[in-house]
Amino acid sequence: MAGTISWTGTLTALSSVSHTGESLGVRAQLRREYVFDAEGRRVLVPVVSGNHLRGRLRRVGEELLRDAVGYEGLLTPAAAHVLRGGGALAKSKGEPLSGSRLATLRRLVPQIGVFGGAGGGTIISGALMVGKVVPHLADTVRITGVPSKVTRFTATQLEAYTRRDDSDLHDFADVVPVESDARLEFDEDGAVRIVGGRQMQFVVETFPAGTTFSAWLTLNRPTDLELAFFVDVLAAYAAAGRLGGRGAIGHGLVRADLVPDHAPEGLPDWRAFVVEHRDEVLDALGTLT
């Protein structure tokens, strides 16, 4: 065992960050929770959940493991869901995963050892604990220890998007728009044309680019293999970090500056290990069905 190790530091938004907590029709608002500000008042501030950051890191880890083991197309949907999304507790086809089978799975698959999951009729705890991602605001200084002139009233912005009705374009001129106010009209000579239609506008509340956040992560007594794996997960996340949703349209790019409380040394080559034990890894993953 490598002993407990923690990382603390900041995430800096390089593009605006969306993390929806409530949707009011076509308007999506950031997730909020109560904190006590510097004057002891209970106030609502936007905070990114630790569950979200953990999920981002889990997906990075799954991609690293997939590239190393080469299990593309070889896993059951249940096993793939555990690795990628944490799985879901469901009735197992056989005996619930426990004892030596569970120990073997943890030993062979660092993704499971670090992030845990729900599979094989069992909830599997992981070594990783993830803190909430708290923006640096005047209202959160008691939590982050970082003074700021930005308040909960000035920390966010509204971004509007338009979904265009393409019924009047050449490529879609003969297609009736779905769920719009478009209608068909017939000319005197019997020709059909589409009239009406509209653009739908969506509004999203976001943290602006340049917003900084405090974050922390802790690995509780990982094995050397799990620690080596997670160090690579953090390196991959730092190289192309994402936070929040709507990444397909440019949201959520972040720079991660997270520092360990002590430098890990003498770590094994986890890739060489899973490649050497590839057949055993695939068999162990099969127990997640």
- Are the beta carbons of 215 and 258 closer than 8 angstroms? yes
Structure tokens at 76: 């059951």
- Are the beta carbons of 216 and 259 closer than 8 angstroms? no
pTM, two decimals, is 0.85
> Which single residue is written with the structure tokens 């009705």?
165
Asked if residue 136 has pLDDT above 80, the reply is yes
Closest alpha carbon to 102 in 284, 238, 250? 284
Compare 168 and 263 and report the one with higher pLDDT: 263
CA distances from 252 to 48, 123, 144, 234 (A): 12, 30, 21, 17
Counting residues of the chain whose pLDDT is more than 90, the rounded percentage is: 74
Mean pLDDT of 278-288: 94
Asked if residue 120 has pLDDT above 70, the reply is yes
Compare 288 and 218 and report the one with higher pLDDT: 218
Q: What is the pLDDT of residue 162?
A: 80
Mean pLDDT of 109-116: 97
Tens digits of residue pLDDT in 33-58: 999 999 999 999 999 999 999 999 99
Domain edges within the chain: 5-155+208-288, 165-198
Counting residues of the chain whose pLDDT is more than 70, the rounded percentage is: 85
Closest alpha carbon to 108 in 83, 72, 135? 83
- Are the beta carbons of 215 and 164 closer than 8 angstroms? no
Tens digits of residue pLDDT in 170-204: 565 565 555 555 555 555 555 545 455 556 778 89
Question: With the CA atoms of 11, 17, 19 and 24 taken in that order, what torsion angle do they form, in degrees rounded to the nearest 10?
Answer: 160
- Are the beta carbons of 39 and 141 closer than 8 angstroms? no
Quote the CA–CA distance of 254 and 243 in Å, as a whole number: 7
Tens digits of residue pLDDT in 154-172: 999 999 888 766 655 656 5
Tens digits of residue pLDDT in 210-239: 999 999 999 999 999 999 999 999 999 999
